């Protein structure tokens, strides 16, 4: 895509979003894995713009932290006195090389790169002072209406609250996206008034002001739902549904089988390789990748994890984990952050892991908790094995070397190191290290007075692990 070094984008994100009734700034509400503002910035990236300026409220730091990594600069609009005032604040930081500005609302997450590029092209072809992105929608309630004269030319934009009954029936709306020639915009912005129902400086009034100066205004109509602004929780849900629908369409086009797109929830941030199969009731969230031919679901929630080619994950919650080629997870497994399943490894039914590596072809097939453990290759972890990793104060590590055999119901009291080919007997309680090739057995448990109270509680106080 062509670069546009003389074009800047100004993204408006200073509104307080009253209609969402939230403590979070509106543009930070998340849909399909990203804040609203993140979707807008993402649409801009491929355009190679000279500058991107985000107009933020006094909560700029919060917004910048949530957007860390975005190649943009921030200006603060305090107080927010309308979209026209917001653009005026941003003009102050534009560099000398900028000739045109794209203005986008930070609450329109469905806007696409292609449409912005088309709007820029229309703006250049027509040498307009302003080019407005409009849309015709069935229910224009809440949007600014585009008022055209008998000859079809744009005359002005009127906000819902300021519109007459005749204007309210107009179904062509202002999407909130514009391209302006910078000189013309700078000329009319100081002339905006605030004599309207909200006592705000409306950017939309710059259209009639430019026309009044004899400048030309053009428009580009989008047919899709890109105009959808998020001003309420209902619209937030609708935008999320649309973005997830688009994600399913995109991955199916790329050769992924999605058995039931209606019950599959894929964030915009996820990538999936061909011939992967996504079964129903599956959530792929955050920074997640699914490899070629892997099968995920039914009923899986995968968050910030990578699932390699040919792996299977079914009825499981997997967070912050790496699942190797051909590895298998579930049914009914919970893999917590720091879990690594190497090639062909298995975490089966009712297995919970945390900060644990299960080596190549090693198996924990049933009913285990494995935390802070490093397990080598070809290890069998018997049903009911627990790494007792917490002594009430600190976490300790368990190391199990290659080809070890952990008998059913073994309690591995960490720190402990099980050697190569070592074995533990069913029901054993293992403390300390087990040498290579040795067998550890130990039943029944002995009672040692005065050695309890691991969590340092007063006597008689019931103790409970607060971390679950």
* Residue numbers at the binding site for Mg ion (CB under 5 A): 107, 229, 231
Least distance between Mg ion and beta carbon 150 (Å): 30
Least distance between Mg ion and beta carbon 105 (Å): 6
Between 229 and 324, whose beta carbon lies closer to Mg ion?
Answer: 229
The count of other CB atoms within 10 Å of the CB of residue 466 is 6
The residue whose Cβ lies closest to Mg ion is 229
Of 378, 432, 443, 371, whose CA–CA distance to 406 is shortest?
A: 378
Choosing among Mg ion, ligand UD1, none, which partner's interface includes residue 55 (Cβ < 5 to 8 Å by kind)? ligand UD1
Between 229 and 384, whose beta carbon lies closer to Mg ion?
Answer: 229
The residue whose Cβ lies closest to ligand UD1 is 144
DSSP helix/strand/coil, 278: strand
Between 83 and 357, whose beta carbon lies closer to Mg ion?
Answer: 83
Between 13 and 399, whose beta carbon lies closer to Mg ion?
Answer: 13
Dist CA 110 CA 1 (whole Å): 20
Least distance between ligand UD1 and beta carbon 152 (Å): 20
Least distance between Mg ion and beta carbon 29 (Å): 12
366 is catalytic: yes
Helix (DSSP H) and strand (DSSP E) numbers for the chain: 8, 38
Least distance between ligand UD1 and beta carbon 197 (Å): 11
Choosing among Mg ion, ligand UD1, none, which partner's interface includes residue 82 (Cβ < 5 to 8 Å by kind)? ligand UD1
Dist CA 453 CA 393 (whole Å): 11
Q: Is the separation of the CB atoms in 424 and 434 below 8 Å?
A: yes
Between 89 and 364, whose beta carbon lies closer to ligand UD1?
Answer: 89
Least distance between ligand UD1 and beta carbon 92 (Å): 15
- DSSP lists the bridge partners of residue 56 as 13, 76
Give me the residues that bind ligand UD1 (CB under 6 A), please.
12-15, 26-27, 55, 77, 80-83, 85-86, 105-108, 143-144, 157, 159, 173-176, 202-204, 229, 231
DSSP helix/strand/coil, 211: helix
Dist CA 20 CA 286 (whole Å): 23
Q: Which of 39, 366, 396, 417 is catalytic?
A: 366
Please state at what angle helix 113-125 crosses helix 36-44, rounded to 10 degrees.
50
Choosing among Mg ion, ligand UD1, none, which partner's interface includes residue 15 (Cβ < 5 to 8 Å by kind)? ligand UD1
Choosing among ligand UD1, Mg ion, none, which partner's interface includes residue 297 (Cβ < 5 to 8 Å by kind)? none
Choosing among ligand UD1, Mg ion, none, which partner's interface includes residue 173 (Cβ < 5 to 8 Å by kind)? ligand UD1
Between 206 and 322, whose beta carbon lies closer to ligand UD1?
Answer: 206
Dist CA 328 CA 314 (whole Å): 8
Dist CA 437 CA 120 (whole Å): 72
Q: To which residue do tokens 């990203």 refer? A: 34
Compute φ and ψ for 377, nearest 5 degrees: -85, 150
Choosing among ligand UD1, Mg ion, none, which partner's interface includes residue 429 (Cβ < 5 to 8 Å by kind)? none
3-state secondary structure 268-289: CCCEECCCCEECCCEEEECCCE
Dist CA 318 CA 333 (whole Å): 8
Active site residues: 366
């Amino acid at each position: 895509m062509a670069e546009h070094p003389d074009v800047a984008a100004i993204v408006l994100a200073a509104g307080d979003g009253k209609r969402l009734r939230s403590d979070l700034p509106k543009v930070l509400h998340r849909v399909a894995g990203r804040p609203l503002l993140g979707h807008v910035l993402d649409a801009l990236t491929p355009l190679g713009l000279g500058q991107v300026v985000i107009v933020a409220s006094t909560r700029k730091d919060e917004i910048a932290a949530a957007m860390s990594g975005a190649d943009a600069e921030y200006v603060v609009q305090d107080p927010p006195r309308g979209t026209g005032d917001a653009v005026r604040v941003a003009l102050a930081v534009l560099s000398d090389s900028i000739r045109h500005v794209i203005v986008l609302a930070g609450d329109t997450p469905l806007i696409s790169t292609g449409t912005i590029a088309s709007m820029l092209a229309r703006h250049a072809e027509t040498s307009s002072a302003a080019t407005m992105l409009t849309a015709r929608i069935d229910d224009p309630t809440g949007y600014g209406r585009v008022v055209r004269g008998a000859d079809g030319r744009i005359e002005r934009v009127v906000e819902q609250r300021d519109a007459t009954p005749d204007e309210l029936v107009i179904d062509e709306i202002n999407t909130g996206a514009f391209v302006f020639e910078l000189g013309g915009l700078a000329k009319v912005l100081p002339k905006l008034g605030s004599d309207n129902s909200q006592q705000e400086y409306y950017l939309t009034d710059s259209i009639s002001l430019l026309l009044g100066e004899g400048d030309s205004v053009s428009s580009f109509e989008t047919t899709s739902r890109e105009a959808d602004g998020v001003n309420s929780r209902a619209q937030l849900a609708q935008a999320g549904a649309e973005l997830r629908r688009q994600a399913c369409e995109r991955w199916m086009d790329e050769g992924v089988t999605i058995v039931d797109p209606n019950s599959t929830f894929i964030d915009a941030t996820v990538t999936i390789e061909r011939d992967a199969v996504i079964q129903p009731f599956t959530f792929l969230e955050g920074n997640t990748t699914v490899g070629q031919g892997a099968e995920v679901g039914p009923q899986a929630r995968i968050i910030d994890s990578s699932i390699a080619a040919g792996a299977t994950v079914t009825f499981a919650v997997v967070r912050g984990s790496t699942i190797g080629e051909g590895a298998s997870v579930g049914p009914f497994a919970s893999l917590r952050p720091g879990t690594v399943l190497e090639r062909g490894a298995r975490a089966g039914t009712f297995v919970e892991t945390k900060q644990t590596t299960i080596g190549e072809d090693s198996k924990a097939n049933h009913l285990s908790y494995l935390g802070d453990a490093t397990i080598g290759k070809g290890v069998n972890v018997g049903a009911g094995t627990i790494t007792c990793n917490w002594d009430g104060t600190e976490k300790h590590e368990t190391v199990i070397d290659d080809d070890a055999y952990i008998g059913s119901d073994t309690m591995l009291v960490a720190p402990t190191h099980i050697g190569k080919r070592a074995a533990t007997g069913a029901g054993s309680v293992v403390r300390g290290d087990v040498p290579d090739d040795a067998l550890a057995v130990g039943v029944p448990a002995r009672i040692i007075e005065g050695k309890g109270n691991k969590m340092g509680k007063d006597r008689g106080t019931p103790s409970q692990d607060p971390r679950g």
